[in-house]
Chains A and B, each alone.
Chain A
């Protein structure tokens, strides 16, 4: 565990001594802000229409503002997370520091977990920044806390899944750019895989939508924490890390 922490800390520091961490954080805050502004506008217009037509109850801020916002965040991270994960292994291999890690008294699993936790911590920091925006809503309205918490949990799990895939892709190459592009492509594929099912039979459709990594996020954004989805994400992460371990090991044999 001490080794995992040492590596995680090193990873996290690596993001912030190079501009990467700050750029990602800033970019993400900016994008989230744009979406926030857009949905706020829609929400305000909707409220005004409602009150003009004489509706007694106010518009649900969770339903019209927070839920679409979080759902769109899941798309933003599709673009941003490859930038976090692309360097994890590729950079170490290119600069030769992989030799330091692999000849130190730490196990492959500890290295992988350290890198995963480091990337996840940066991602959590990103989400924390957005929490400020969401917190503002409490100042001017009264949103429900439950769906917000479940939505963020869902985002964290979804991002964890993406990071596990990103680590795997990064471990397969020594070129950061290649790693970034391939990771982005893989994310997109995992995202749209359920669309393929629309024209297929019912069984195929169920299977494909089960496999789609974003499909499982829907319930979280609605405020439902279903163990089915939690287990899906956790097993997805475990499988991704397992494949990364295998990739690192096979690289050792091949030299």
Chain B
């Protein structure tokens, strides 16, 4: 549905996006993850035909966005970072204008506007001025705008930014509800969002793709070290030396302590499962083994790992993309 090959965008001497390649299948929700200024917005703007790329190609719904921009735009819905609303128009007037702009014939316009308002639940503010709406409603009207022409591809730039927790959940549900009929790319710098809404994640940093995978695989694949959490009731004795002596253990750290029982984090070199040995050792000492479970790296840790451990590239200045 979306194919991006070796996309590069340069602003003056700043590389905003560098050699980005990925695919999105029909009906998939792809998460675009990265710190601020990583090149997410730039990539999305290229895909929507807002700006041309310096190099590379992008094909959306079978149309190259550079060679056949109108065809591609007809099949793309876009919600920019700030919803593009006209403050002086009422929601209804605004959506009506959008419908005309998207080339919906006059006869179908009314029903399309109504459907879009219904799906995004903004019908109750239809006669209010866009400038007077709350942030949550603005975002939803922006979303109504994006789905107006029932596009095959939806591109959403930080759809939940600036919303309160309840609105975030609502918006997420809304996006998931749209998934079946639309192929969706959404960008965010909030991690739980990705694991909750997206089937696949692209992590982008300083304009480069650093990882592409499912949220679960990403967590698994990047687990450099196995970490076990173990809770032991050892009475007066200290179990740490015993744990330390187990084969492959690199580190033991105390994490929490509640009446008698103490929790430890046991780190081992990757690929070694020592749960059996650990259990035997603890029981052999006559202590109570209260809990034993592996703790994977959270997506937060993976993200930080990927976006901070990369050595800095001196040939390009820090990719602080100008937000035009």
Residues of A within 8 A of B (CB): 2-3, 6-7, 10, 13-14, 17-18, 95-107, 251-255
Q: Fill in one digit per residue for B83-120: 1 if any A CB lies within 8 Å of its CB, else 0.
A: 11111110001000110111100000000000000000
Mind listing 10 A-B residue pairs with CB under 8 Å?
A3-B103, A6-B100, A10-B86, A13-B89, A104-B102, A105-B101, A105-B103, A106-B70, A253-B51, A255-B321
B27 contacts chain A at the CB level, 8 A cutoff: no
Task: Report whether A96 and B98 are in contact in the complex, using a CB–CB cutoff of 8 Å.
Answer: no
Task: Report whether B100 and A100 are in contact in the complex, using a CB–CB cutoff of 8 Å.
Answer: no
Q: How far is the CB of A95 from chain B (nearest CB, A)?
A: 7
B11 contacts chain A at the CB level, 8 A cutoff: yes
Determine which of A6, A14, A100 lies in contact with B88 in the assembled complex, contact meaning CB atoms within 8 Å. Answer: A14
Q: How far is the CB of B204 from chain A (nearest CB, A)?
A: 17
Task: Report whether A105 and B52 are in contact in the complex, using a CB–CB cutoff of 8 Å.
Answer: no
Query: Which residues in A have their C-beta under 8 angstroms from that of B98?
Result: 100, 104
A7 to B84, CA, bound (A): 15
Task: Report whether A17 and B88 are in contact in the complex, using a CB–CB cutoff of 8 Å.
Answer: yes
| Chain B: interface residue total (CB-CB under 8 A) | 37
Residue of A100, A105, A253 with most chain B CB atoms under a 10 A cut-off: A100
Q: How far is the CB of B82 from chain A (nearest CB, A)?
A: 4
Query: Which residues in A have their C-beta under 8 angstroms from that of B76?
Result: 103
Within 8 A of A (CB), among B246-263: none
List the A residue with the shortest CB-CB distance to B148: A104
Task: Report whether A99 and B80 are in contact in the complex, using a CB–CB cutoff of 8 Å.
Answer: yes
B312 contacts chain A at the CB level, 8 A cutoff: no
The secondary structure that dominates the A interface is helix
Task: Report whether A103 and B73 are in contact in the complex, using a CB–CB cutoff of 8 Å.
Answer: yes
Query: Which residues in A have their C-beta under 8 angstroms from that of B100?
Result: 2-3, 6
Task: Report whether B101 and A18 are in contact in the complex, using a CB–CB cutoff of 8 Å.
Answer: no
Q: Fill in one digit per residue for B292-324: 1 if any A CB lies within 8 Å of its CB, else 0.
A: 000000000000000000000000000001101
Within 8 A of A (CB), among B58-85: 70-71, 73-74, 76, 78, 80-85
Q: How far is the CB of B75 from chain A (nearest CB, A)?
A: 9
List the A residue with the shortest CB-CB distance to B145: A100
Task: Report whether B97 and A95 are in contact in the complex, using a CB–CB cutoff of 8 Å.
Answer: no
Within 8 A of A (CB), among B18-67: 42, 45, 48-52
Query: Which residues in B have their C-beta under 8 angstroms from that of A100?
Result: 80, 84, 98, 101, 145
Task: Report whether A103 and B49 are in contact in the complex, using a CB–CB cutoff of 8 Å.
Answer: yes
List the A residue with the shortest CB-CB distance to B99: A6
List the B residue with the shortest CB-CB distance to A107: B70
Contact (A3, B88) CB under 8 Å given A102-B50, A255-B42: no
A100 to B130, CA, bound (A): 15
Contact (A3, B101) CB under 8 Å given A99-B50, A103-B48, A252-B51: yes
Task: Report whether A103 and B322 are in contact in the complex, using a CB–CB cutoff of 8 Å.
Answer: no
A98 to B324, CA, bound (A): 11
Within 8 A of A (CB), among B138-196: 145
Query: Which residues in A have their C-beta under 8 angstroms from that of B78?
Result: 99, 103
Task: Report whether A254 and B11 are in contact in the complex, using a CB–CB cutoff of 8 Å.
Answer: yes
Determine which of B81, B85, B322 lies in contact with A255 in the assembled complex, contact meaning CB atoms within 8 Å. Answer: B322
Query: Which residues in B have their C-beta under 8 angstroms from that of A3?
Result: 100-101, 103
List the B residue with the shortest CB-CB distance to A93: B324
List the B residue with the shortest CB-CB distance to A102: B50
A98 to B271, CA, bound (A): 52
Determine which of B9, B42, B71, B82 lies in contact with A96 in the assembled complex, contact meaning CB atoms within 8 Å. Answer: B82
Query: Which residues in B have their C-beta under 8 angstroms from that of A7?
Result: 101
Query: Which residues in B have their C-beta under 8 angstroms from that of A98?
Result: 84
Query: Which residues in A have their C-beta under 8 angstroms from that of B51?
Result: 252-253, 255
A10 to B97, CA, bound (A): 7
Q: How far is the CB of A92 from chain B (nearest CB, A)?
A: 9
List the A residue with the shortest CB-CB distance to B157: A99
Query: Which residues in A have their C-beta under 8 angstroms from that of B11?
Result: 254-255
Query: Which residues in A have their C-beta under 8 angstroms from that of B321?
Result: 255
Give the 4 A-B residue pairs with the shortest CB-CB distance, closest first. A100-B84, A6-B100, A105-B73, A103-B48
Determine which of B50, B71, B85 lies in contact with A97 in the assembled complex, contact meaning CB atoms within 8 Å. Answer: B85
Sample of 8 more A-B contacts, CB < 8 Å, known A103-B50, A255-B42:
A3-B100, A7-B101, A17-B89, A100-B101, A103-B48, A105-B71, A252-B52, A255-B9
Task: Report whether B84 and A95 are in contact in the complex, using a CB–CB cutoff of 8 Å.
Answer: yes
List the A residue with the shortest CB-CB distance to B47: A103
Q: How far is the CB of A242 from chain B (nearest CB, A)?
A: 19
Query: Which residues in A have their C-beta under 8 angstroms from that of B83?
Result: 96
A102 to B50, CA, bound (A): 6
A97 to B83, CA, bound (A): 8
A7 to B101, CA, bound (A): 8
Task: Report whether B89 and A252 are in contact in the complex, using a CB–CB cutoff of 8 Å.
Answer: no
List the B residue with the shortest CB-CB distance to A5: B100
Query: Which residues in A have their C-beta under 8 angstroms from that of B81?
Result: 96
Query: Which residues in A have their C-beta under 8 angstroms from that of B88?
Result: 14, 17-18
A211 to B88, CA, bound (A): 39
Query: Which residues in A have their C-beta under 8 angstroms from that of B85?
Result: 95, 97
